[in-house]
Amino acid sequence: MSVVKATKEQKEKETEEEIPEDLDLKVKKYLRGGAANFDDLKDKKLKGQLSHRESLYGASAKAAAKYEKWLMPSEGGYLEADGPVEKTWRIKQEDIRREVDISSSRNQHDVILPEFSPYTLDFTSNGQYMAAAGRKGHLAIVDMKNMIPRREIQVGETVRDVVFLQDQSFFAAAQKKYTYIYGQEGIEAHCLKDQGAVLKLQFLKNHFLLASINKFGQLHYEDVSMGAMIGNIRTGLGRTDVMQVNPYNAVVGLGHSGGTVTMWKPTSSAPLVKMLCHHGPVSALAFHPNGHLMATAGKERKIKLWDLRKFEVLQTLPGHAKTLDFSQKGLLACGTGSFVQVLSDFSGTQNYSRYMNHSMVKGYKISNLLFRPYEDVLGIGHSMGWSSILIPGSGEPNFDSWVANPFETRKQRGEKEVHLLLDKLPPETIMLDPTKIGTVKTARKKEKSTKKEIEAEMEATIEAVKDGINMKKKTKGRSKPSKKLKKRQEIIANAKRPFLEQQMQDGQLSIKKQKISEEVELPKSLQRFARKKAAT
């Protein structure tokens, strides 16, 4: 017995050593709510089953906390103020640059190209490459890891937007008349003439779909793996250049001049959702990485945060924003004029407040804001070129090499592209709630037929029976007309019987319901409307 007790004590000590006190917060994150109270339960069997289940939940939460410690060693850091007097939004970029390491300080830069501005930016999914498009025809691919421009081309016409496709080997540019797809070497690969003059581009990575909205308000979906047009939808809500993709369900969101936000999928000609968000034109739109939070900005100088599970407003903030973007950790960047404001939600209550501010040189006009994945960096495209500033806590510190690897080699990139093509999802899988995919659709209850439908079905059955009656000739007086008529009537009566029985059952049920409703005592104010019994 002493040996058994010793082994139990050793196991308990080992588990206590494995889970230090600093993991308590991580354990709470994985717990499924608070512990249940079983004191009021009288059923001992049920009480034991529920307590065993609670212990399993606790063990799984502890295991998840330990795995997080092993598999995600890096932790994200935020700016913290010393005392109530100091504010994080008063800290400037020069102060941050003096405190960070050399590699991080290189992420602060300004590229001044006024002859090709304003610029629009886009990053690859791993954050290693950036595409910059100047409105006056300048296209550039920059290696952000080594700060080296890989390719620069001048197309000689207006460029409204640029977006990477599956990786840095291909990118699409919305030019004056058509959309062009270029290779990594800057060679034109395709010209998409069916889309017209495109204002905004977005790429759906899991579906290999290039979504675009043109100046006539037409939404197009082009499958870049097959070169086929999947969807051509007329929104009917006018010209717009406010367009974003929800990363959770791949639904495209559009902001319109009437203050409405619509959500679309390629297999439907009508919007999945049409909601009135502002009393003026929608100027910017952004989706949270978890897909359940949406930020919109209107010309009436209001920024609203929406819960997409309930389609309700969570928070309304004063201010105007020409561009919005959420970071991987949930920070919200708002840009207007020459001023950038970053909002944070460290409490997890979806109550955003001011976190950081940054003012550009007077006269610069911000056209695009975009957080760089897996880095605490915010890219800014403006009227004089593009800039990059440090936003501590914006990027995900731990990357999954199966999803996006910032340090991938050429061989890994080729294998990844093959895997993406093999795992490509069909357009039909795009829906508001992707968790419904793979579930069984419940059978609908059979609707009760009306009296006219029953009578029509009975008449059709009788006609079919009459046509199918074939009386055989019999001897010794059994083929008399009277006997044939009697037999014919019996066959028709047998065909009528199930319909008549069903009518009788429905009548009995209605009488029974009527009696039950009469037995219920009505209040005095309604008793004069009750059906009166017939006098005997």
pLDDT tens digit sequence for 343-355: 998 777 788 999 9
What is the structure's pLDDT at 278? 93
Kindly report the average pLDDT of the chain as a whole number: 83
- 188's enclosing H/E stretch is strand 188-192
Q: Is the peptide bond before 20 cis (omega within 30 degrees of 0)?
A: no
- The closest alpha carbon to 308, from 287, 326, 325, 332, belongs to 287
pLDDT of residue 536 exceeding 60: no
What is the structure's pLDDT at 476? 61
- What is the distance between the alpha carbons of residues 511 and 534, in angstroms, rounded to a whole number? 15
pLDDT of residue 299 exceeding 50: yes
- The closest alpha carbon to 188, from 231, 139, 229, belongs to 139
When comparing pLDDT for 495 and 378, which is higher? 378
Most confident of 79-83, 383-387, 415-419, 461-465: 383-387
Query: What is the chain's alpha carbon radius of gyration, rounded to the nearest angstrom?
Result: 34
Residue 25 — pLDDT band, cuts 50, 70, 90?
A: low
| C-alpha angle 131-135-140 in degrees, rounded to nearest 5 | 25
What is the structure's pLDDT at 182? 94
Q: Is residue 181 classed as helix, strand or coil in its secondary structure?
A: strand
pLDDT in tens, 378-431: 999 999 999 999 999 888 888 877 788 888 888 888 888 888 888 899 999 899
When comparing pLDDT for 15 and 190, which is higher? 190
What is the structure's pLDDT at 503? 76
Judged by average pLDDT, the poorest of 9-23, 81-95, 153-167, 491-505 is 9-23
What is the structure's pLDDT at 515? 64
What is the structure's pLDDT at 99? 87
pLDDT in tens, 309-326: 899 999 999 999 999 999
Amino acid found at 32: R
- The closest alpha carbon to 188, from 204, 170, 161, belongs to 170
What is the structure's pLDDT at 366? 93
Q: What is the mean pLDDT of residues 338-345?
A: 92
pLDDT in tens, 133-190: 999 999 999 998 888 889 999 999 999 999 999 888 899 999 999 999 999 888 899 9
- What is the distance between the alpha carbons of residues 348 and 26, in angstroms, rounded to a whole number? 14
pLDDT of residue 20 exceeding 60: no
- What is the distance between the alpha carbons of residues 103 and 475, in angstroms, rounded to a whole number? 112
What is the structure's pLDDT at 332? 94
- What is the distance between the alpha carbons of residues 161 and 333, in angstroms, rounded to a whole number? 20
Q: What is the mean pLDDT of residues 487-509?
A: 78
Most confident of 54-63, 92-101, 382-391: 382-391
The two three-digit tokens of residue 436, written as one number: 């419904």
Taking the CB of residue 335, how many other CB atoms lie within 10 A of it?
Answer: 28
HEC secondary structure over 268-320: CCCCCEEEECCCCCEEEEEECCCCCEEEEEECCCEEEEEECCCCEEEEEEECC
Q: pTM of whole model > 0.85?
A: no
What is the structure's pLDDT at 491? 80
- What is the distance between the alpha carbons of residues 326 and 284, in angstroms, rounded to a whole number? 12
Q: Is 19 in contact with 27 (CB distance < 8 Å)?
A: yes
- What is the distance between the alpha carbons of residues 157 and 136, in angstroms, rounded to a whole number? 6
What are the φ/ψ torsions at residue 427 (nearest 5 degrees)? -60, -25
Q: What is the mean pLDDT of residues 18-26?
A: 60
Q: What is the mean pLDDT of residues 253-279?
A: 93
- Which residue ranges make up each domain of the chain? 2-71, 88-432, 450-466+480-503
Q: Is 350 in contact with 332 (CB distance < 8 Å)?
A: no
- CATH of region 88-432: 2.130.10.10
What are the φ/ψ torsions at residue 50 (nearest 5 degrees)? -70, -40
What is the structure's pLDDT at 12? 44
pLDDT of residue 481 exceeding 60: yes
Residue count of the chain:
536
Judged by average pLDDT, the poorest of 279-283, 423-427, 429-433, 458-462 is 458-462
Taking the CB of residue 214, how many other CB atoms lie within 10 A of it?
Answer: 18
- What is the distance between the alpha carbons of residues 377 and 322, in angstroms, rounded to a whole number? 19
